[in-house]
Amino acid sequence: MAQLKLKDVTKRFGEVIAVNKLNLDVEQGECFSFLGPSGCGKTTTLRMIAGFEDLDEGELSVDDKLFSSSFKKYYLPPEQRDFGMVFQAF
């Protein structure tokens, strides 16, 4: 079972689709990175995982704990996720 699971995750900013139907499974102990050009959705995806942005479509869970789901109309606030990130300008 994936520790981090994104299912058909989509995020829009107005007419711009920043992340389009992203599916991602990261297993315990697995390392991964997001690579790509500026504006391809890397930071937006990390912000959705941390809870700083809510997804428009799809579902996101960590350790089988639901963080956000458009299907179930559910959003767990960032302070309740036990998850964080360090910003580049820290």
Cα three-residue angle 11-49-68, rounded to 5 degrees: 70
pLDDT tens, 53-74? 999 999 999 999 999 999 999 9
C-alpha separations of 75 from 35, 52, 67, 89 in Å? 27, 11, 6, 27
pLDDT in tens, 16-57: 999 999 999 999 999 989 999 999 999 999 999 999 999 999
Length of the chain: 90
Token digits of residue 43: 């930071």
- Check residue 55 and give its pLDDT: 96
Could you tell me the residue ranges of all domains in the chain? 4-80
What's the CATH code, domain 4-80?
A: 3.40.50.300
